Amino acid sequence: MKAALPGRRSVVFGTLGLAVAVGYGASKLAGTVVRRGMPIDRLMPGKAVSAPVGFVLSGPDGAHDVLASRRGAPFLLHVWATWCSPCRHELPGLAAFMTAWGPDCPVVPVAVSSGSPEEIRAFLERNDLGGLPVWTVAGEALKVWSANRALAIPVTFLIDGAGRIRATAAGSLDWAAPEAPAALRRVLAATSA
């Protein structure tokens, strides 16, 4: 038995249908890759869900910081990586946000699994992000603190005054939104209450 070949009309409409489907899928994908981040006020605090954060951050020239030293006031711990495309997209907005807020900005950006503090500093300078603090954390320390949960990068944790997670935002935040500073002030006030 000989198989019938598809007619010209079937080939044309089939190709057109495939092109439309691929174009639609590509447009949906582009919409998820290039997007504004989640609003900061989505980080409103819930009940505490972790042990107090206490791991050590490493900085350039041998500097260290223990996050336990920030106890008493809530803050955001923003975890990012140099190899993470959404992180690289988000960092300019975060840098501008932190610069506009000033030296007492309650956001601690930390690079994970991205090399030494000197390599992080070089990455930030190459990308005109020299104003961001250069802190790194060992991936194992982050994994232990997060109870071996799989973490999407970037991820931002709202940490309360006792050092515990009160909210988590997986993915980018919209640092450039005009209402972002006021939203963060509301979130911090609600965490302190």
Closest Cα to residue 106, out of 141, 78, 130?
Answer: 78
Alpha-helical regions (H) of 34-170: 85-101, 117-126, 139-145
How would you class 172 by CB atoms within 10 Å of its CB: exposed for 0-12, middle for 13-18, buried for 19 or more?
buried
pLDDT at 20: 38
pLDDT in tens, 129-162: 978 999 999 888 888 888 767 788 999 999 999 9
pLDDT at 115 over 60: yes
* CATH architecture for the domain at 40-192: 3-Layer(aba) Sandwich (3.40)
Q: Mean pLDDT in the chain?
A: 83
The residue written with tokens 């961001």 in the block is 132
Which of helix, strand or coil describes residue 76?
Answer: strand
pLDDT at 118 over 70: yes
Contact yes or no for 156/79 (Cβ under 8 A): yes
Q: What is the mean pLDDT of residues 43-68?
A: 89
Strand stretches in the chain, DSSP E: 56-58, 64-66, 75-80, 107-112, 136-137, 155-159, 165-170
pLDDT in tens, 157-169: 999 999 999 999 9
pLDDT at 83 over 60: yes
pLDDT in tens, 6-40: 565 554 444 434 433 433 333 333 333 334 789 99
Domain residue ranges of the chain, discontinuous segments joined by +: 1-34, 40-192
Which of the two residues, 2 and 168, has the higher pLDDT score?
168
How would you class 156 by CB atoms within 10 Å of its CB: exposed for 0-12, middle for 13-18, buried for 19 or more?
buried
